[in-house]
Structure formats: structure tokens, C-alpha cells
Structure 1
């Protein structure tokens, strides 16, 4: 039974599947650098990942980090320096660096726990039934999940049955779309009004969107692969346990 495992490989709850998995610490740290909190999502540390993403949006907004980046990219360094709010920027830098370092350290340790969990594996629950939700291990197509996230971040997480994170991501994607005026900009561009399309965009909120979009795609793709691997591990363990004493006869 899964309860006898000293190191549990995975857990199925009402919110979805959380599992130990082998990952490159450098890739995890990279996604933390792209958007603080994303690296912790890859490690299934959803609470701290959510708090870090909230901190990124709130403190970035108060410190005007994205506006300063836009001015820097366009060579307007004096404007970049003038728009930065120092009392928030220093705190933002500290949280940013610690988030990257913490995700890197956690990834290294989780890789060790993953190896121990595999060595001690004695089976895992495959279905969780509660009054409000049914969760289960199922094989799925990683490309389908990534495609869902491409069309609207959050849908890929819904595909993987992580519905809490799915609706959190969908909520924030709507916020970014509305505050950046992205849809209005696309309409102007569609009608050939290029200058209006550019002028209506809000750069601060627009700069969040590429990180969120591609982060959601990558997270969904990797999560689907790991769920499939967990399905295979559980199926292999069950079949070995169920048929280890059986004698297969092809010819009588």
C-alpha cells in the first residue's frame, strides 16, 4: 500500500496530482527567473508558487520594473532611472533572487527524494473520490495539453485536472488581456491602423504576457509527461505484483 512508503512518489487529492519527479535544477531556476513562482509550480509547490506570482505582479507594479525595462530596451536610460521606485525595487530584487535560488535548491533535493521514492515504491492510489471532485491517474497527450495552454493559459492545467491552478491562471490571463488592451490592439491591427494598435497597448501589463503564455505551455507539457510516467510506473508495479507467480504458456 502507498501508506507504507517512507518516501511517497505521488499523492492524489481533490485538487489534482502532486508528485516527486526528476527535473533539471537549471531549467527550474530558469523559469523562476522568467517569472518568480513558475519554478515552484514545476516542483508541485503550489502554495509558495502562487504567493510568489502574486508578489511578482504586485511589487513589480509598485516598483515600475516593467516600465523601466521598456525604456531601457529603447535606449531611454534616464527615463528608466526616473520611473523606478527604489523603496519597492530593492525588495523586488531580494525576493526575485531568493525565489530563483530556492527553486534551484529544492529541485536538487527533490531529485534525491524522487530516486528514493522509486527504490521504495510499493504502489500508489490511482483514484481519489470526494463529494466535490473525482481525480485519477490517466494517460494523456502532452501536445494536446500544450495546445490548450497556447489558446488560453489555464486550459492546459484544466486538461491535467489541476483545476485550482487552472482557474487562477485563467483569471490572471483575463486581467492581463484587459489591462494591456491587447484585444483592442489586435482589432486596430486587423483594420490596418498600426499606429493606433501600438499606442493603445499598456507596456507594463503586456510584458507579463509572454512569460505567462510560454510558462503555461511548458508547465502543461511537462506535467502531462510526468503524469503519463506515473501511470506507467503504477501499471508496471501492479502487473508485476499481480502476475509474478503466474506461469505463462504460449504452447500447450
Structure 2
């Protein structure tokens, strides 16, 4: 079954020079027009998020894991927390300069590559759209089934608000979804955010404040905001892709302008 799925995918790819989308059993990958400055902004917020927006999954995973590891070692988030509270001398003293300099090079590269890569992908998309290659609509394999369908952007946002990663699963981006869920669980656990929410609900505010680990808590706003925004955009673009495929099908099957659709007899 997997072999048939792969051969079907290769058949679609061999028919054109550039493809707008690829459906595998675990993922739906596509190129579409993106704002380079938006991708640059998320690359600035956290290394790897820009690559998630570009659907460059392997780069995203490696860069995110690398960024988290170096950030913790260099205590960059802790220094940011101290800076926000006006304790600049303390912020300066907690940063491990050896790890920070190592962090800086890849961080700047991610920002630059986020902008450059988005500009290049936009060019590739325009060429692929002009070519109007046939789109793959269905993929069935041993582990999962993937198909092109319309999905609600706001439902994707809702699930991402409950837990980052669920919106990706709704859009059948299984690998990205599982990675984001795992990352969110780690952050929620290490930051004691759920414990602080529980203490806040029972009005034990000083204990809730004391329970929080602000160094890890600083990851949460970007994680939640990015997951909701990216899933919304992905859902919108998937719906556009679905409509493009329908348009292709109708043009191929009913090419004559004067063709009249059959109707049921009035009898």
C-alpha cells in the first residue's frame, strides 16, 4: 500500500516542473504567498518558528530544539525577565557568555534565512501557479489517510488555543502537531503554569506567583500565539488549494464553453 502511495505521489511530481503541494500520509506540505516580514518577525521571536511557517519541517525541528537547549544553557530568558523588571545588573550577571555567543550566530541566521527563504518561495509559487500543475487529492498508506478537503480556520484556531499542536492535527500536519504538543507539554510542566492556574482559581495568589518558573513561562506566549496564527493561515491556504483542484477538474472534464449540465426530467 505504501509503495502504491509513493508511486502515485511520484506520478504527480513527474508531470510538472514545479508543484504547489505534496500530500503524504503524515503531512500536507504546500507553498503559497507569504509575507517575508511576518516570517522574519516569528524568526525573531524564537528560532525555528519561521521555518514552521515555510513548511520546512526538518529545519524547524532542529532549530527549535537547538534554540531551546542553548537558551536554557545561556539563561537568556531569565536575563530577559530580569531586564523587564528593571534588574539590569542581575540580567547581565546571569547570562553565560560562552553559550550566548554560540546562540547569537544561528539566531541571526534564522532571521536572515526566514526573510530570504520566503522571498524565494514566493517566486517559486508564482511560477508553479502559472504552470498550474495537477494537484494530488488523496493519499492512503499503511499508517494514515490524507485527503484534500475544506477545513474551518476558526476551528483550527480553537484547538490551537486549547493546546498548541491540536490545530496542526486537525489540518493533518501530524508530525508538526505531535512535535508542538510535546514541546507545549514540556513548557507547561517546567513552568508550573497549570499549577499556578489551579492556585489562582482557588484564590491563593501569592502561592501561584511563587510556583511559576518565569524562565520557562516566557516560552508560552509565543508558542500559543504562533500556533493559532499559523494554523489559521494553513487552513485558509488549504481551502484555496482545494478550490484550485476543483477548478482544474472542471476545466479538464467540461472544457467546452457551451456545455450544458444534465438536468433531471421535469416529469
- Shorter-chain TM-score category? over 0.9
Matched, 1:146 2:157: yes
Please give the alpha-carbon distance, in whole angstroms, between the structure 2 residues aligned to 1:206 and 1:146: 21
Q: 1:4 to 1:67 in 2, by over 3 A?
A: same
Question: Aligned-residue CA RMSD in angstroms?
Answer: 1.5
Question: Alpha-carbon deviation of 1:36?
Answer: 1.1
CA deviation profile, 1:9-42 (whole Å, cap 9, x unmatched): 1111122111111001001111111111111111
Instruction: Describe the SS at the equivalent of 2:39.
Output: helix
Matched, 1:184 2:189: no
Please give the alpha-carbon distance, in whole angstroms, between the structure 2 residues aligned to 1:145 and 1:151: 10
1:87 aligns with: 98
Give me the TM-score of the superposition, normalised by structure 1: 0.97
Q: Which structure 1 residue ranges, 5 or more long, are not aligned?
A: none
1:36 aligns with: 47
Please give the alpha-carbon distance, in whole angstroms, between the structure 1 residues aligned to 2:70 and 2:260: 67
2:129 aligns with: 118
1:244 aligns with: 255
Please give the alpha-carbon distance, in whole angstroms, between the structure 2 residues aligned to 1:186 and 1:92: 32
Instruction: Describe the SS at the equivalent of 2:22.
Output: strand
Give me the TM-score of the superposition, normalised by structure 2: 0.91
1:174 aligns with: 185
CA deviation profile, 1:216-246 (whole Å, cap 9, x unmatched): 1011111111111110111101101110136
Question: Alpha-carbon deviation of 1:186?
Answer: 1.0
Please give the alpha-carbon distance, in whole angstroms, between the structure 2 residues aligned to 1:145 and 1:188: 29
Matched, 1:5 2:23: no
- Please identify runs of 4+ aligned residues in structure 1 that moved more than 2 A: 245-250
1:194 aligns with: 205
1:21 aligns with: 32
1:51 aligns with: 62
Please give the alpha-carbon distance, in whole angstroms, between the structure 1 residues aligned to 2:183 and 2:155: 22
Q: Which structure 2 residue ranges, 5 or more long, are not aligned?
A: 1-10, 262-267
CA deviation profile, 1:177-200 (whole Å, cap 9, x unmatched): 111111111111112111111111
